[in-house]
Amino acid sequence: MKKSMLAVTLAICVASSAAAADHEKKKFKKHADGAPGKWIVAFADGVKGDKAARKLTEKYGAKLRYVYEHALNGFAVEMTDSAAERLSNDPHVSLVEQDVFVVPTAVQTGTPVYWGLDRIDQTTGSADGQYVYNRTGTGVRIYIVDSGISNYDEFYGRLIHGYTVAYFDTWYYGFQPNYDDFFCDEAYRCHGSKVASIAAGGAYGVAKQATVINVKVNDHEHNTAGDVAGGLDWVINNSNQNPTQPAVANISLNVAGTSEQTLFEQIVINTIDSGVIVVAGAGNTKPYQSTGSNACGNSPAHLGKTWTGFTNPNNRTVITVASSSINGSRTINAAGVDQNGQFTYWSSDFGDCVDIFAPGDGVRARGLSSLPPDEFSGTSAASPYVAGVVALYLEGRGSNYDPNAVEAAIKANATANALSNVGSGSPNLLIYSRVDLWP
């Protein structure tokens, strides 16, 4: 009897130890393609604030990058892998996850075209050479979470420089934050400026009187999902301070190499739950003869549908946008030049994480004010068409809207079955901008 009791006791101890070890593993998440030495940390229940973050970073020899106040109850740090794993065992945290790099989802080409705006204001495929609109997005805030904006004359006094996490090379100290640089990075061919010009530019944009908020989170290869999270934390607070102005955020960026950035995606969900609708590009696949990949492998495109593992009681999802071409097909093997100036072929990603399509192959956009407009391609170009239409739909609504209902309206009033080769699992829906004609 005693032997049996001892065996049971040992079994319980072993099981408890195994369960504890498994629990600690779940609190530490490392990515094979993660950003070396950078981590995002979620506090445990009942723990919060700058003081707690600083105490933990000091205790574990870390360098504090951000304390998130609105998007996540947590913070971002720089620390060694071993220190991060030790931090994950601390009872004051619920998860320590390795940060990952972000990349723009655009490809750029050279000859001017105007077909994007021409296509979205009609349900037929025939071009009529005009963009008809009865709303302008007046009173709506469009947050361009991207690489900065420089083309002032596209926005006629409607551009606000809101937040930046730009970096500059100090040579001696390496890359350091530059909190005064809001302008687009020419190394990325002014990606953010072109995105903004499609969403809300006076000449080339959808919502021509919306307020454009510049949220610069990516201008260099050193930027990570933690930087984007810092921008979204600012977006939530800024939107809360302007409660009578509806808000939409465009994220034409993808987290590199993984769709499993749990804390970053939780921050995106929390942003939507705060009332800021999030629109994101589905992603591009660039090897020649590729017909694209599943957008569920990209983040935040991954959040085009609901998943388990998040705190998401209101079932918030991103509006994930794939790219269509002028020939009426999903963009497949289109020629272009990537953000590094290299010639490439690219295809729009697809799948059941995609919500809708928009023009994204060789559309007109404006980068620097000092340069003429040119073509812009990729799901980075498709996404702001949808963000602009969201702004048209939100005009005059104040705070009286639900993000889920807005997404449903965008999809319910899209042009159905207008495209070919949409890809397995993708909806055959093309954005339609005449919100004044929606039922």
Domain segments of the chain as ranges: 26-98, 102-437
Q: What is the pLDDT of residue 223?
A: 78
Q: What is the pLDDT of residue 371?
A: 73
Q: Do the first three CATH levels of 26-98 and 102-437 match, i.e. the same topology?
A: no
Q: What is the CATH number of domain 26-98?
A: 3.30.70.80
Residue among 439, 247, 424 at smallest CA distance from 349:
424
Question: Phi and psi at residue 111, in whole multiples of 5°?
Answer: -95, 130
Tell me which fold the domain 102-437 belongs to: Rossmann fold (3.40.50)
* Pure H helices in 201-258: 225-240
Q: What is the pLDDT of residue 4?
A: 45
Do 148 and 195 form a contact (C-beta atoms < 8 A)? Answer: no
Do 183 and 191 form a contact (C-beta atoms < 8 A)? Answer: no
Q: What is the pLDDT of residue 106?
A: 52
**pLDDT tens, per residue, the chain with 439 residues:** 444 443 443 343 444 444 444 445 579 999 887 889 999 999 999 999 999 999 999 999 999 999 999 999 999 999 999 999 999 999 999 999 999 888 766 554 444 437 999 999 999 887 778 898 999 999 999 999 998 898 667 888 999 999 987 655 444 445 555 555 666 665 456 889 999 999 999 889 999 999 999 999 887 666 789 989 999 999 999 999 999 999 999 999 988 655 666 899 999 999 999 999 999 999 999 876 689 999 999 999 999 999 988 999 999 999 999 999 999 999 999 987 666 667 788 999 999 999 999 999 999 998 876 677 788 899 999 999 999 999 999 999 999 999 999 999 999 999 999 999 999 999 999 999 999 999 9
Q: What is the pLDDT of residue 72?
A: 95
Predicted TM-score (pTM) of the model is 0.85
Q: What is the pLDDT of residue 130?
A: 85
Output the CA torsion 56→59→63→66 (10° steps).
10
Q: What is the pLDDT of residue 18?
A: 44
